[in-house]
Each structure stands twice: as structure tokens, then as C-alpha cells.
Amino acid sequence: MTLATQQKTNLLGLTKPQMEAFFESIGEKRFRAGQVMKWIHHFGVDNFDDMSNISKVLRDKLKQTAIIQGPEIVSQDISADGTRKWVIRVASGSCVETVYIPQAGRGTLCVSSQAGCALDCSFCSTGKQGFNSDLTAAEIIGQVWVANKSFEGSVPATVDRAITNVVMMGMGEPLLNFDNVVSAMTLMMDDLGYGISKRKVTLSTSGVAPMIDQLGEVTDVALALSLHAPNDELRNQLVPINKKYPLAVVLDACKRYMDKLGEKRYLTIEYTLLKDVNDLPEHAEQMIQLLRHVPCKINLIPFIPFPHSGYERPSNNSIHRFKELLIEAGYNVTVRLTRGEDIDAACGQLVGNVQDRTRRSERYIAIRQLASEVEIKQ
């Protein structure tokens, strides 16, 4: 990227108010914002000369002051089950991953918010990559832009579009990149952007309690909590941020958020099942008690092993037993089907290529090497 390019405004990540402010700053009318947003987000245009309803004078002015720059696609893989995964390089030099999951009547895009993750949940391969940087709003919405462009003839805000749902469940903790994530989600829901219903844009958090409250001040997207343990002692081990924001504090923040929505909306509880760690009947009973006053639906996610994680996938019998105990207690429970495992696109498998600033990845690699040496000796 040249110095001249760096000084230009990237229009890809601007919300409607920000786009209107940009056009005013170059002496143009605010309505131009809507025209340009449609070209960018509805038709995937990144060349001002292709914007046929804009005068040549304005197109030339835009070339001098602005760019439409999506993230660089390093690779795209398509799974046998139709799942797609893009590896995308961002400005920091790191790579992040975006996954599209087709299901009957809908298509869900799993979007990353950070290069790596600072939280280091013990069972998540992304966390083992360490942390490099927050993604910009353009890099976050750019993942939707890239995916949408890959489906020929798929125009946002139309019935037959390919992307119907977006989940902020890719790499990173979205609430630790608050402003950029909120801007990107606003674009996802804007009719001039991707026109996705607020009920179909979901932010997933590990439980950054103060930011959940802040989120409720600025948006009303669906909320998911990565729970993974029914008590503080176990959750402290699996999700270390629990030491700072324990379960009672996090669940209270989630309830305040849901109450503020004022509609019949449910918190999604995500729970990764780990063999003999959090999948026993006693854990199900604790979970039943923990969530008894929380309007929620529960999504059970069987663990997908990665090298030297130290965890295993539970048996199908264990998964079924856990699910049935929750259902008998009156909860709405689903077990997430494993999709895209053959291209490492399944839940917990996203690793990208993070230029780690925390040195966590070095420590993890050293542990893996030591474990390999022990296996060889045995």
C-alpha cells in the first residue's frame, strides 16, 4: 500500500452517518452516501468508474480522496459438505479466517473480529495462536463483502441472497474490539449494506461483562455467551476471563441486555463438550440450576481435537445423555453439527496465521514439541 493510498479514506467500512460526513467533508451532498453504499455493498463494486449513476466529475474527485479496499484473499477452500473457508490477510500482516456454512434455507457467515485472540481459552485453537491486532471495521465487513462477491448474482436485501445470517464467532473476542465490531454489524443490518435482520446478526462473547452493558446502549443484535462450564471453578480453567468476570456477573449483564430488547428474544448459550471435563451428568444438573432464571436456548458443541490440546471429544452417548438431561428440565437444546471439518473450518479450528505479540504461540509450540518427543520415546 502506497503512502498516497494510506491517506485516502477507505469507504468500505463506513456506516451511513460516517459516509454522509465524508461526502460533506469533500463538499458533496449527503445523499451521495446512499448511492455509493449500494454500489459497494449490493453490487461488490470497488472501482469508482463502474458507478454509472454518478457524474464523471464526482468519480474523479472520489479517486483523489477515497478507495474501496477489501481484504486480500490468500486462499479459499470448499468442503465436501458445501462449507467454504476464506483465509484473508489484513493490514497487520496476519491472516484471519472466515467461514460460510450453508444449511436448508439459510447461509451463515462466521466472521472474525481480531487477528488471534487475547483470551486464551484452553480448548480453542485460535487462542493458542496468540494475539496480534484488532481488525478495522473495513476488515470485518470486508469478510462479508468478499463472501457475498463469491456468490454470483447474490445481491443483499433480496430473498435469494446467499448470506442470511452472520455470527461474530470467528477469531477473536468481539467485545474487545468494540467500536469496529459495532460499525461492521451496523453495516450488516443497514438496507444500504446487507439488509440482514437484527435477529440474524449474532455477537458471541466469552463474557466481557462491562462491554455487554455498553453493547446494549448502541445495538440490539442477538447475543450469545460462550459458557463452556457450569461453575466458576471449572470456568476459571477453561475460560480464564472468568477470573475477572465470574458467572454471576456475566449472566446478570446478559439478562440486562436481553431485558433491554423488550421482545421475546433469547440468549444463546454455547457449551463445548469436553470428554470427562464438563460433560458429566453433574455438570448438566449444575447448568440447569445456573440458567433457571435466564431465558435462553442452548447450543452444545462437541469438541473437535487439535494436536496436544489435552482434550477429547465425548462419546455420542455422553452427548445424547447431556442433551436429554437439559431437555427434560425444559430447555431448548440443539447439538451443533460438525461442518467443514475436512478444511479445518469447524468450531474451534480457526487458526489463521497470527504474528503473535504475546509469545503465547511460542510457549504452545514448545509444549507441542515436548509432547511429540515424549510420544517418540514411548
Which residues are catalytic, by number?
Answer: 97, 347
Question: What is the number of other CB atoms lying within 10 angstroms of the CB of residue 252?
Answer: 14
User: Is 182 strand, coil or helix?
Assistant: helix
Cell triple for residue 72? 486480500
Q: How far apart are CA 55 and CA 356, in angstroms?
A: 46
- Show the DSSP H helices in the chain as ranges: 3-7, 16-25, 32-37, 56-65, 137-150, 178-189, 209-218, 232-238, 247-261, 281-290, 316-328, 360-377
Q: Contact, 216 vs 260, CB < 8 A?
A: yes
Q: Contact, 113 vs 171, CB < 8 A?
A: yes
Burial per residue of 125-145, b for 16 or more beta-carbon CB atoms within 10 angstroms, e otherwise: bbbbbbbbbbbbbbbbbbbbb
Q: How far apart are CA 41 and CA 156, in angstroms?
A: 7
